[in-house]
């Protein structure tokens, strides 16, 4: 009887150690996946990862250089789409065929008349390349008139953490003006509006900074003129660290 009790206690202890080990391994796996951005699932509010905030919200990656897109279509044809220097803007949607949230956007893009985009804004969908994505699945999901490019390199160049993910590119400046993740197209549209507001605010700050610099220069010029120092005055060309001419040098 005592032997059975001891064996049962040992068995329970080993089972407890096994459970603790599994929980610890599970936590480590989740933490590593989170760090890598794998399986990124956006919240209903449209918030995104800490290093990149939602479209239009200032972040470490705000106003970075965009990249042109090149890859293959789901039909295997080589394709290149120029974004830098192009008129208007482009919403680059990074989707996959196996992402449940992405299905919402595949369906939305099948009805371009309901996207309510400005006439100078286009949508380009980028999936990973044929080496990491099912070509037949993407072909089945891609609407006929939608620009769909398969390219893992484009994902890497934009440092995409997972799908769905959206990057708003301003063609004339060749800059990324917003990026992030959302669960619905309406959220993406709202975030694009935030990007416009942020761009306007940034332009206003730059304009005020230039105006302040001009005002400071005008104040300095006025003070110099009041002191009798105008353009070409000798004091403006003096070098304080030089010895005046004719000054005797000390004996060594």
pLDDT score of 37: 43
Contact present, 67 and 158 (Cβ < 8 Å): yes
Burial 77-104 (b: 16+ CB within 10 A, else e): eeeebebeebeebbbbbbbbbebebbeb
Taking alpha carbons only, the member of 115, 112, 74 closest to residue 95 is 74
- Residue 51: inside a domain, yes or no? no
Query: Quick one: 178 exposed, middle or buried, by C-beta within 10 A (0-12, 13-18, 19+)?
Result: buried
Whether 234 is in a domain gets the answer no
What's the CATH number where 79 sits?
3.40.30.10
Burial of 196 (0-12, 13-18, 19+ CB in 10 A): middle
Evaluate whether 178 touches 198 at the Cβ level (below 8 Å). yes
Q: How far, in Å, CA of 20 to CA of 17, rounded?
A: 5
User: Based on the structure, what is the number of domains in the chain?
Assistant: 1
Beta strands in 113-230 (DSSP E): 121-127, 147-150, 165-170, 175-180
CA 90/CA 172 separation, integer angstroms:
11
Distance of CA 35 to the CA centre of its chain: 16
With respect to residue 107, please indicate whether it lies within any of the assigned structural domains: yes
CB contact at 8 A, 132 and 153: no
Name the 3-class secondary structure at 165.
strand
User: For each of the chain's 252 residues, which pLDDT tens digit applies?
Assistant: 665 555 666 565 655 555 445 434 544 544 444 444 444 444 333 333 333 334 543 344 556 899 999 999 999 999 999 999 999 999 999 999 999 999 999 999 999 989 988 889 999 999 999 999 999 999 999 998 999 999 999 999 999 999 999 999 999 999 998 888 889 998 888 877 665 555 555 555 656 666 666 767 777 777 777 777 777 777 766 665 555 555 555 555
In a domain, residue 238? The reply is no
Domain that holds residue 167: 64-196
Tell whether 201 is covered by a domain. Answer: no
- Domain assignment present for residue 117? The answer is yes
Residue 235 belongs to some domain of the structure = no
- Residue 140 inside a domain? The answer is yes
């Amino acid at each position: 009887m005592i032997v059975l009790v001891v064996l049962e206690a040992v068995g329970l202890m080993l089972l407890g150690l096994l459970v603790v080990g599994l929980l610890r391994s599970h936590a480590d796996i989740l933490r590593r996946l989170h760090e890598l951005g794998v399986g990124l699932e956006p919240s209903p509010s449209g918030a995104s990862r800490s290093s990149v905030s939602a479209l239009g919200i200032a972040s470490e990656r705000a106003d970075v250089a965009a990249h042109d897109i090149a890859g293959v279509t789901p039909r295997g044809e080589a394709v290149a789409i120029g974004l830098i220097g192009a008129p208007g803007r482009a919403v680059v949607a990074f989707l996959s065929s196996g992402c449940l949230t992405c299905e919402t956007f595949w369906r939305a893009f099948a009805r371009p008349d309901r996207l309510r985009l400005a006439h100078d804004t286009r949508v380009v969908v980028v999936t990973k390349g044929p080496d990491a994505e099912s070509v037949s699945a993407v072909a089945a999901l891609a609407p006929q008139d939608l620009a769909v490019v398969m390219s893992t390199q484009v994902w890497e160049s934009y440092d995409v953490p997972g799908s769905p993910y959206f990057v708003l590119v301003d063609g004339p400046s060749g800059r990324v003006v917003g990026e992030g993740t959302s669960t619905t197209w309406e959220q993406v549209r709202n975030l694009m509006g935030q990007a416009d507001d942020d761009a306007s605010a940034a332009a206003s700050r730059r304009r005020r900074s230039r105006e302040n610099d001009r005002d400071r220069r005008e104040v300095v010029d006025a003070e110099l003129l009041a002191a009798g120092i105008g353009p070409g005055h000798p004091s403006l060309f003096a070098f304080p660290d030089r010895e005046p001419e004719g000054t005797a040098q000390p004996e060594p």
